Chain A
Amino acid sequence: MSLLSSVAVSAGYGDLVAIDNITIDVEENSLLGVIGPNGAGKSTFLRALTGVVPLRGGQVLWQGTDIGHLPADARARKGISMVQEGRRLFPSLTVRDNLELGGFHASRQERAERMTEVVDLFPALGGIMDRSASVLSGGEQQMVALGRALMARPQCLLVDEPSLGLAPLIVDEIYEALPTLIERGMSVVLVEQEVDRVLEVADSLVVLHEGRIVYLGDGSEFRENPDSLAAVYLGHALDEGAA
């Protein structure tokens, strides 16, 4: 049984159907990469999994049980954390308070332990704990956002475009943390525009185009033949595009 699955999931905004009939499994202890052009529906897919947008159809299964009707906070308490596009910190709070709210339901002692773990993962956070989250650099923001999500000690972490707008060195630092998380037994769903980065770390890969799946596999085709990816991005199925 997969840890988290979407079964024929559709979601949208107003009259717009942003994702349609998406069926994907997230396996335990693995990293699923989700790529696709702007507006493909990547973020909407994550929002549908976490309950930030309601489902228009289909099911979200958590260890085989349908959680598609649960509100976002209840799904989060099951063990799903998400880092949203744009980081979305609490600007009126300090870095420490941002992190602590991530571990809202843990005991004080447990929270302290997790905090140490997060700082081990992102040492840069150690020096800015008492700074307001409204004055951080993009890289610091991303680390706080990831740290806040990890404070819940999730089984499944969804991350939406962590590299967006960051200097390559900072992105390296963030990507270095991902294997550690998998080692610890977590599953990660990583949405990205930087395809090369995703191919490096992903165990499996989904390409979305206009709200539909146009590729689902382990990504080896693209590692061997990077040009084939361009065709998929344009919405062609792999065989016709590569031909």
Chain B
Amino acid sequence: MDTLANVIVSSILLGGVYFILSLGLNIILGVLDIVNFAHGALIILGAYSTFLINRALHWDPFILVLVDMVVVGVIGAVLYLCYLRFTVNSPLVRMFALIGFNSVVAALLLIFMGSDYRTVPIDLGTWYLGPIPIRVTQVIAFAFAIALGVITIVLLNRTKVGKAVKAVTDDRTSVQLAGINDRRLSLLAFTVGAGLAGAAGGIISTYVTFGSESGLAFAIIAFAIVIVGGLGDIWGGAVASLLVALVLTGVTVYLSSALTNTALFLLVLFVLLVRPRGILGRGRV
């Protein structure tokens, strides 16, 4: 019984982190129709940004989440301006470019950071929810992830520019015809999406150890969440984050951690079969 309660509590906490892990991917997909194969690289850059600045300056890892967001957001903007916007007419070239970016980042990290796995040293003790132990850092990570997610959603739904970004998802031509520069909105969406990936990397660096190749593992989880939640459906992504966290935690605890990716793929296949437009049925096909 305790184990089950434990699994549920851990899954909820992890689900919050997964939500932020997938949010940037979802926004970029929704607004730009770009499957961001560089998502993993952006996440891992956020994680290393926290690690390096924390090692050098001893800044609090949670403050660094905001720094990661800016650093990786800028990297995303440069990536978009120098390269992605010239590939709009060729999804294949774009995919190649993004996967290439992943490889370059992984190679550079390996060269400059070595193959060691890294941990950001942070321990704020443990709380007990009845008999269930909860690491305080995980609670803060959860709170940070949810706060960032909520702020993003509020900005998207309540501000003029946010609404214009949503409108691009609906109908880019109509946005242009309203005299709105959609190219700037695209840049904004990619920058914010990349920044969120960086923030996710920073948050996750307080959770798990990571290495130069870890981006792929995080990206796989993010892609699974976006598919399960429905392409471009942010609320669906929130529900899917929780579901994926439950499945991954459950499989690790009750079966074997070797089976987590298998479970993830089975979950994605299952959802694609029964709910091809995502768990809330509102995603794009």
Whether the pair A76, B177 counts as a contact (CB closer than 8 A) is: yes
Cβ-based interface call for B181 (8 A): yes
A19-33 vs B, Cβ < 8 Å mask (1 yes, 0 no)? 000000000000000
Within the assembled complex, what's the spacing in Å between the Cα atoms of A152 and B180? 11
* Other-chain residue from A74, A92, A101 in contact with B178 (beta carbon distance below 8 A): A101
What is the number of residues of chain B that contact chain A, defined by CB distance less than 8 Å? 19
Interface members, chain A 60-100 (any B CB < 8 Å): 71-74, 76-77, 81-82, 84, 88-93, 97, 100
- Chain A residue contacts of B170, Cβ below 8 A: 89-93
Cβ-based interface call for B176 (8 A): yes
Cβ-based interface call for A104 (8 A): yes
- Chain A residue contacts of B175, Cβ below 8 A: 73, 101
* Other-chain residue from A52, A92, A100 in contact with B177 (beta carbon distance below 8 A): A52
What is the number of residues of chain A that contact chain B, defined by CB distance less than 8 Å? 27
Cβ-based interface call for A142 (8 A): no
- Chain B residue contacts of A163, Cβ below 8 A: none
Whether the pair A101, B176 counts as a contact (CB closer than 8 A) is: no
Whether the pair A76, B174 counts as a contact (CB closer than 8 A) is: no
B78-99 vs A, Cβ < 8 Å mask (1 yes, 0 no)? 0000000000000000000000
Whether the pair B174, A72 counts as a contact (CB closer than 8 A) is: no
- Chain B residue contacts of A81, Cβ below 8 A: 177-178
- Chain A residue contacts of B178, Cβ below 8 A: 73, 76, 81, 101-102, 104, 148, 152
The secondary-structure label for the interface of chain B is helix
Minimum CB distance partner of B161 in chain A: A104
Cβ-based interface call for B74 (8 A): no
- Asked, given contacts A73-B182, A88-B171, whether A93 binds B163 with beta carbons under 8 Å apart, the answer is yes
Cβ-based interface call for A105 (8 A): yes
How far, in Å, is A85 (CB) from chain B's closest CB? 11
Cβ-based interface call for A50 (8 A): yes
* Other-chain residue from B164, B173, B181 in contact with A88 (beta carbon distance below 8 A): B173
* Other-chain residue from B164, B169, B183 in contact with A104 (beta carbon distance below 8 A): B164
How far, in Å, is A94 (CB) from chain B's closest CB? 9
- Asked, given contacts A71-B176, A76-B176, A152-B178, whether A100 binds B171 with beta carbons under 8 Å apart, the answer is no
How far, in Å, is B135 (CB) from chain A's closest CB? 38
- Chain B residue contacts of A152, Cβ below 8 A: 178-179
Within the assembled complex, what's the spacing in Å between the Cα atoms of A81 and B175? 11
- Please indicate which of the listed interface residues A92, A97, A100 has the most CB atoms of chain B within 10 Å of its own CB: A92
How far, in Å, is A175 (CB) from chain B's closest CB? 22
How far, in Å, is A54 (CB) from chain B's closest CB? 12
- Chain B residue contacts of A104, Cβ below 8 A: 160, 164, 178-180
Whether the pair B176, A52 counts as a contact (CB closer than 8 A) is: yes
Whether the pair A100, B173 counts as a contact (CB closer than 8 A) is: no
How far, in Å, is B247 (CB) from chain A's closest CB? 29
- Chain B residue contacts of A72, Cβ below 8 A: 173, 176-177
Within the assembled complex, what's the spacing in Å between the Cα atoms of A72 and B180? 9
> B residues touching A (Cβ–Cβ < 8 Å)?
160, 163-164, 166-167, 169-171, 173-183
**Could you jot down 8 A-B contacts, CB within 8 Å?**
A74-B181, A76-B179, A82-B177, A84-B173, A89-B174, A90-B166, A101-B167, A104-B179
> A residues touching B (Cβ–Cβ < 8 Å)?
50-52, 71-74, 76-77, 81-82, 84, 88-93, 97, 100-102, 104-105, 148-149, 152
Known pairs A76-B178, A90-B167, A92-B169; list 16 more (Cβ under 8 Å): A52-B173, A73-B177, A73-B178, A81-B177, A81-B178, A88-B174, A93-B163, A93-B167, A100-B160, A100-B163, A101-B164, A101-B175, A102-B178, A104-B178, A105-B179, A149-B177
